[in-house]
Structure 1
Amino acid sequence: MEFEIYAYAIVIVAAFFGGFVDAIAGGGGLITVPALLAVGIPPHVALATNKLQGSFGTFAAMINFYKKGMIDFKKIGVGILFTFIGACIGTVLILYLDAEILRIIIPFCLIAIFVYTLFAKKIGEEDRAARMSSKLFYVLFGLGLGFYDGFFGPGAGSFWTFALVALLGLNMKKAVANTKALNFTSNFVSLCVFIVGGQILWVVGILMGLAQIAGAWVGSNLVVKKEVKFIRIMFLCVVGATIVKLVYDYFGLHFKDIF
């Protein structure tokens, strides 16, 4: 596909802001996917290209957090392994199963996370005692959220951040940092599937990926410097936006079928 210069400008700017937001609270796809669709890219190609450019940003944020000492790969190694396994299963099953049930359930789960985070105002301000063993946590949530991200995807970063805060007792800064490593794992699996499927626009994806790196670098540095309150507000904004998008997509799809 060939594009005008303005189309490249739109998706590159969107990728920068997507990488910026994603590094802080996840949900960068809420910016980049609509931008790709807006310039006339078919939905399946847009999703594939988004995985490519998004992987650049997630990887850049992960490396920056690691260099700042906010990720201990030894502690989350089990999580990375089982996230990889879960994402493989989910990505394969999406070829055979209908994701419709997830379109109904996930918005309600995100609403619960939003309400809990909104009213539990001290959540994530500092480290707390874990409510379950880290190994069991990473096995269960690695498989579960890895599967979910490979099978469906929207809100996966929000689920990881919330689970790390609520169940492992991490403060929100550490939770966001570790989420990037776990998210990159499942993104990489999905990306490999899309590469095999030949659905990626490589020039667009790489240009956006470079902008993602810049945005992710700025965003991840803000996470290190800013107070937890700022990250919490960004988290709530992203979760809220994801809820609105999923509800809109669900009802928009069904109204289209009716009329």
Structure 2
Amino acid sequence: MFEVLPHVAMLLVLAAFVAGFVDSIAGGGGLIAVPALLLAGASPLETLATNKLQGTFGAATATLSYARAGHVRLRDQAGMAAISAVAGAVGALVAHLIPAQVLRMVMPVVLVAVAAFFAFKPGLTDKDKAERVKPAVFALTAVPLIAAYDGFFGPGTGSFFMLGFVMLAGFGVLKATAHTKLLNFASNIGSLTVFIPSGATWWAVGFAMAAAQVLGAAIGSRLAMRIGARLIKPLLVATSTGMALRLLWQVWAG
């Protein structure tokens, strides 16, 4: 039996489908799933735990879709994924050390900057560019920082991974999207291992939402691979801007 009324559960499933679709292309699925869970009556801890559960399935689906198409080689990226998982767990463990209110004030500015970069930067295509840092340096600096942020706060993680892959690793937009989903999946797994023992997860609702996430992510990733940067760029700009506006609203409403 669901932890909420059946009609509320169905609305959460619908929200998860849309979140999985959007997240598989440009990130920002939490922008949809988290408010939906809060409106359904979940506490902040229940919301975070349940969102990580259902979001993990969507990220896994998108990762496998991109991997099957050759856009990411899972074996080659295993080390980077492991770093992301550990950092995600550490971030979840230390979440209480950094006031969320501080992040809510800082992150809108950062997200608007990310959106502006992808909106106005010329030459952003699916073709790779020259890398600015070596893969090992990227794995030991950018990856743990972003993954830890995902563990203790979360909004914009996909946007930040995308920015890192494009700006530092020299990836094309589609390849960056594929690798972003792998590292996002890993950081979700890491933080989920911290949330599960808390007992706050809505398991029935979470797995129902996970099934919808899988479907949405499968459709979204296929569409992204078919259209590429022409779809990913505008959706990334829209989701980053949307997250920034939501965080600003939280600051003003709070």
Superposition TM-score tier, normalisation by shorter sequence: over 0.9
Gapped regions of structure 1 (runs ≥ 5): 254-259
Give the TM-score normalised by the residue count of structure 1. 0.92
Distance in 1 (alpha carbons) for counterparts of 2:229 and 2:166: 12
Corresponding letter in the other structure for 1:114:
A
Moved more, 41-50 or 77-86: 77-86
Residues 140-169 of structure 1: CA deviation (Å, up to 9, x unaligned): 012211111112111011000111011111
User: Contact 1:60–1:217 at 8 Å: present in 2 too?
Assistant: yes
Distance in 2 (alpha carbons) for counterparts of 1:3 and 1:153: 25
1:9 partner SS: helix
Q: Name 2:35's counterpart in structure 1.
A: 34
Q: Name 1:166's counterpart in structure 2.
A: 167
User: Contact 1:78–1:135 at 8 Å: present in 2 too?
Assistant: no
Corresponding letter in the other structure for 1:72:
R
**1:132-211 equivalence runs, <5 A:** 132-211=133-212
- Provide the aligned C-alpha RMSD in A: 1.5
Corresponding letter in the other structure for 2:101:
E
Moved over 3 A (4+): none
Deviation at 1:61, TM superposition (A): 0.7
Deviation at 1:65, TM superposition (A): 0.9
User: Contact 1:81–1:142 at 8 Å: present in 2 too?
Assistant: no
Moved more, 109-118 or 88-97: 88-97
Residues 139-198 of structure 1: CA deviation (Å, up to 9, x unaligned): 101221111111211101100011101111111111011001100111111111111100
Moved more, 119-128 or 169-178: 119-128
Distance in 2 (alpha carbons) for counterparts of 1:153 and 1:87: 10
1:249 aligned onto 2:250: yes
Q: Name 1:94's counterpart in structure 2.
A: 95
Distance in 2 (alpha carbons) for counterparts of 1:99 and 1:41: 18
Deviation at 1:233, TM superposition (A): 0.7
User: Contact 1:124–1:228 at 8 Å: present in 2 too?
Assistant: yes
Structure 1 residues 99 and 3 mapped into 2: Cα distance closer, same or farther (>3 Å)? Answer: closer
User: Contact 2:126–2:175 at 8 Å: present in 1 too?
Assistant: no
Deviation at 1:112, TM superposition (A): 1.5
User: Contact 1:124–1:170 at 8 Å: present in 2 too?
Assistant: no
Distance in 1 (alpha carbons) for counterparts of 2:160 and 2:55: 18
Gapped regions of structure 2 (runs ≥ 5): none
Distance in 1 (alpha carbons) for counterparts of 2:126 and 2:3: 48
1:208 partner SS: helix
Structure 1 residues 97 and 239 mapped into 2: Cα distance closer, same or farther (>3 Å)? Answer: closer
Q: Name 1:9's counterpart in structure 2.
A: 10
1:95 partner SS: helix
Distance in 2 (alpha carbons) for counterparts of 1:144 and 1:40: 31
Deviation at 1:218, TM superposition (A): 0.3
Corresponding letter in the other structure for 1:205:
G
1:25 aligned onto 2:42: no
Percent of counterpart pairs with the same letter?
A: 36
**1:219-230 equivalence runs, <5 A:** 219-230=220-231
Q: Name 1:129's counterpart in structure 2.
A: 130
Moved more, 125-134 or 179-188: 125-134
Give the TM-score normalised by the residue count of structure 2. 0.94
User: Contact 2:173–2:228 at 8 Å: present in 1 too?
Assistant: no
User: Contact 2:85–2:191 at 8 Å: present in 1 too?
Assistant: no
User: Contact 1:26–1:238 at 8 Å: present in 2 too?
Assistant: yes
Corresponding letter in the other structure for 2:22:
V
Deviation at 1:2, TM superposition (A): 4.2
User: Contact 1:126–1:171 at 8 Å: present in 2 too?
Assistant: yes
Q: Name 1:231's counterpart in structure 2.
A: 232
Structure 1 residues 9 and 160 mapped into 2: Cα distance closer, same or farther (>3 Å)? Answer: same
Corresponding letter in the other structure for 1:147:
A
